[in-house]
Chains A and B, each alone.
Chain A
Amino acid sequence: RGGEKEEEEEEGWHQLYPGHIPTSPLQKALLAAGSAVMALCDPYRHDMVAVLGETTGCLALPNLRDKMKNHPEGYHILQERPRIRLSTLDMARLRGLPDGSLGREYVRFLEDNKVSPDTRMPPKFVDDEELAYVIQRYREVHDLMHTLLGMPTNMLGEVVVKWFEAVQTGLPMCVLGAAFGPVRLSTRKLQVLATQLVPWAIQSGLNASCVLNVYYEQRWEQPVESLREELGIFPPP
């Protein structure tokens, strides 16, 4: 019983950030497998997608973090650690911005699809607090991806965004989501997906600079089209 007491104490003392649950490699492997199966069986378990991302991101996350560190704007973000939350966003002001601006279109997206930035899961199983922030940032920026790509939150739209994110971030969770997401789509939608949307998403993803290197909170007034051009995202079909 001495061994597990140590384990207990270690696990308690190594909490690196609030909500952090330290896990052994075996636990991570089991979590990755379990969450993958559960996410496929029950698409409403968004928490399982999140867990899958955290347990499989050990290569992609440091990669992303380094991309951010080496870019002036990305570095800025890592320093200041901005969070996109309803409490920090001035929704009234954003709504007042001109049509076509990032802020106005983002708010329109949230309202049209009835989503909120506050429903993103905080990370639990990432064993580095900077990387925990990186994955948190990736989650909070997801809705902005929808806005930039002009994709709604239905199954089809989500899959397209996942393809884009898979190319951009290399996160295994995105790759799996992109590959298995289409399983639940009708053939008609699959056709549109395969012939038009996915190639466009991949090309844009490859062409664009890292989307995590954009300090969105300082660019609400910028027109979406101009931001697309700046990043290198091709206009949606």
Chain B
Amino acid sequence: YQVFESVAKKYDVMNDSMTLGVHRVWKDILVHKMNPSPGTLLLDVAGGTGDIAFRFINYVSSVRERQLQRKLKHHQSLSWQEIFESYQKDKFNSVGDSQVVVCDINREMLKVGKQKAQRLGYSEGLSWVLGNAEELPFDNDKFDVYTIAFGIRNVTRIDLALQEAYRVLKPGGRFLCLEFSHVSNPLVSRLYDLYSFQVIPVLGEVIAGDWSSYQYLVESIRRFPPQEELKAMIEDAGFFKVDYENLNFGIVAIHSGFKL
């Protein structure tokens, strides 16, 4: 907990520096893979500073807008709400009835996330909840999609988090996990290790004044189960059609599963 308390304020700056901005692409790919349609209810766990939530909102808003344009073009029957919205030409990218709940165990991270939302102009369709991935404060069968981006690595009992994910998803719901994983390519692996152990703690010290938190980060990545093992754990929790996609040689992987 304390690692993320000290890390919260500089979290985003550090992410950009450590991954040279690539983490933004990874998160974009996650939301694209999710391909949410308007009206989706998303639970983003360990979502802290809101990166996934904001992308989700952008995505459904633009899908919705495109739908609206299509309806307008074909003079289809529009509801009064839609007609009203079509007159708001500016930033009113309406979220409609899509919603995202951002859940994080750390108050500081949520605080930073809320401030960011305000600054970037996100107001509708967002809620912020303090909660533990191993014991979520939600009822069964509630959400359409559950995401956890770079968070499951920090959960003590991954199996419990996966069980909770299964519990709160509706039947037909999707589980998506974006996390650091294992690189099998020996050359890439060597370079990656060199970068991780030599450069990242230095970045932590210089940018955030905190060597040890980033040393911990790099070590926790090495300890995390590799792709196949995580896949098996997700299947154990009851998910079907579990699969994973490697990004950047396996530096990062997206695992996906369905509750049927």
Interface residues of A (CB under 8 A from B): 1, 3-4, 7-8, 21, 24, 26-27, 30-31, 34-35, 37-38, 45, 47-48, 51, 124
Q: Kindly state the separation between the CA atoms of A38 and B203 in the bound complex, as whole angstroms.
A: 11
Task: Return chain A residues, CB-CB under 8 Å to B199.
Answer: 30
Chain B residues contacting A8 (CB-CB under 8 Å) are 219
Tell whether, in the assembled complex, residue B198 and residue A34 are in contact, meaning their CB atoms are under 8 Å apart: no
Rounded to whole Å, the gap between the CB of B196 and the closest CB of chain A is 8
B75 CB to closest chain A CB, in angstroms?
58
How large, as a class, is the contact surface on chain B?
10 to 19
| Residues of B that sit less than 8 Å from A by CB | 193, 197-199, 201-203, 205-207, 209, 211-212, 219, 222
Give chain B nearest CB distance to A3 CB in angstroms: 8
| 6 A–B contacts, CB within 8 A, in A order | A1-B193, A24-B198, A26-B198, A34-B202, A48-B206, A51-B205
Q: In the complex, A209 Cα to B201 Cα: how many Å?
A: 39
| Known contacts A1-B222, A4-B222, A38-B206, A27 near B193 by CB under 8 Å | no
Q: B203, B206, B222 — which one has the most chain A CB atoms within 10 A of its CB?
A: B206
A31 touching B198, Cβ below 8 Å: no
A124 and B202 form a contact (CB under 8 A): no
Considering the complex, give the chain B residue whose CB is closest to the CB of A4: B193
Report yes or no: B197 in contact with A7, Cβ–Cβ below 8 A. yes
Give every chain B residue within 8 A of A21 (Cβ-Cβ): 211-212
Q: List the A side residues contacting B197 at CB < 8 Å.
A: 4, 7
**B203 & A34 in contact (Cβ 8 Å cutoff):** yes
On whether the beta carbons of A45 and B211 are closer than 8 Å, the reply is no
User: Can you name the residue of chain A whose Cβ is closest to the Cβ of B211?
Assistant: A21
Distance in angstroms between the alpha carbons of A48 and B205 in the assembled complex: 8
Name the A residues within 8 Å of B219 (CB-CB).
Answer: 8
Cα distance, A73 to B198, chains bound together (Å): 41
Note all chain A residues with C-beta closer than 8 A to B211: 21, 124
| For the complex of A and B, 7 pairs with smallest distance between CB atoms | A34-B206, A30-B202, A26-B198, A38-B206, A47-B209, A31-B202, A4-B193
